[in-house]
Each structure stands twice: as C-alpha cells, then as structure tokens.
Amino acid sequence: MTAARLLIIGPQGSGKGTQGVRIADALGIPAVSTGDVFRANVKEGTELGLKVKAIIDAGDLVPDALTGEIVRDRLAQPDAAGGFLLDGYPRNLGQVGDLDGFLDERGAPLTAVIELVVPRDESIQRLSLRAAEQGRADDNAESIAKRLAIYESETAPILDVYRERGIVDQIDGVGSLDEVYARIQDALAARGVAAS
C-alpha cells in the first residue's frame, strides 16, 4: 500500500473538512486542519488564539510564517509518521515551497492532492447554511466573499504546481456526503491508497 500523505483542497464550503476527517479516519492517519488548530487556540484563549481571532474576525488569513510553523510542528509528531491529511495548508505558492522543503528533508513527498470542485454559488449557499446552524461569526456574506476571492486568486494557482507533478485528483464535490466520499475513495484506490 502507498503511504497516504494527502492534501485536500477546495473552496470554503466545499465540504473538505468533513470529507478530510472521514478519509483520515478510514486510513488511520491524522487529519491536520489549520482551521481546527486555530479555532481550538481561539476557544482556549491562548496567545496564539487572540492573535488569530483578530485576524480571522477581520476576514483575513493567518500569516504564512505562523501557519507553516504550526503545520511543521504537527507533522513532526509521531502519529503523522505513517501519513497525514492536510486541510487548509498549503494555501498559496509560498506555503507550497515551505511544505516541499519540510517533506523533502524526510524523503516523503505528497502522495495525492484531492481537489473538491464545487461551483461558487453552491459554496456560498453551504456557508450561509453553516452560519445559521453553527453561529460562526466568520461566515457572514462579506467575509465569505472575501475568503472565496482569496481562494480563487491565491490557492487555486497551487493546483497547477501539483498538476505538473501528476498528483491532483479532481473530485466533483456536489452530491451527498456518501457520493462524494465514494468518488474520493475510488481516486485514492487508483493511486494505491486504500483503507486497511
């Protein structure tokens, strides 16, 4: 079986968090979500959390250096030695270089990049619903539009880098959770990555 060093990517509201956890659980690897790490620190009121809260409340993204430090620390932990699933990092070309350097040192490049493809209207609809259900302050119309614009201008270009390496699997992100999950499983199985 191929080691599962995965990245799941897609616009906000594409379902990548939900699918990422499901895939990681099935493969027995940790799901490393920068958003979850940041939210946990905000909830705990840590120094990092206070910095992050101010940045997120403004609808901005946490700086690359801070994000990279957190991800490298997490991937160096023993439970990530056999594989991991990244969600929310890398999100721009600078972070791709940072992650490449870290993984190259370990001789452990990414196995696959799962790209969840969801139309913009669908993303906005899902995020609006999430805001109503979870009361998330960062899911208001203005910050949703800002985050989707940042995704389109900064994150989408990293897919070209990974496409050149032949590791991107485009997955239709519209459908039931089970339908989308089955599509992801099929794509990973074709790369020799399957649940044990």
CB 122 within 8 A of CB 174: yes
136 is a catalytic site residue: yes
- Residue 39, annotated as binding a ligand: yes
Identity (one letter) of the amino acid at 126?
A: R
Q: Active site residue: 5, 16, 74, 183, which one?
A: 16
CB 162 within 8 A of CB 16: no
- Residue 130, annotated as binding a ligand: yes
91 is a catalytic site residue: yes
- Residue 151, annotated as binding a ligand: no
Please give the structure tokens belonging to residue 42. Answer: 């905000």
- Residue 192, annotated as binding a ligand: no
**Which of 1, 39, 2 is closest to 17 using CA atoms?**
39
DSSP letter (8 states) at residue 26: H
Q: Active site residue: 53, 91, 126, 183, which one?
A: 91
- Residue 22, annotated as binding a ligand: no
- Residue 97, annotated as binding a ligand: no
Identity (one letter) of the amino acid at 111?
A: T
- The whole-angstrom separation of Cα 94 and Cα 62 is 13
Q: Active site residue: 51, 72, 120, 130, which one?
A: 130
- Residue 28, annotated as binding a ligand: no
CB 116 within 8 A of CB 173: yes
16 is a catalytic site residue: yes
- Residue 111, annotated as binding a ligand: no
Specify binding-site residues for AMP: 34, 39, 60-62, 88-91, 95, 136, 147
Specify binding-site residues: 13-18, 34, 39, 60-62, 88-91, 95, 130, 136, 147, 175
Specify binding-site residues for ATP: 13-18, 130, 175
Which residues participate in catalysis according to the annotation? 16, 91, 130, 136, 147
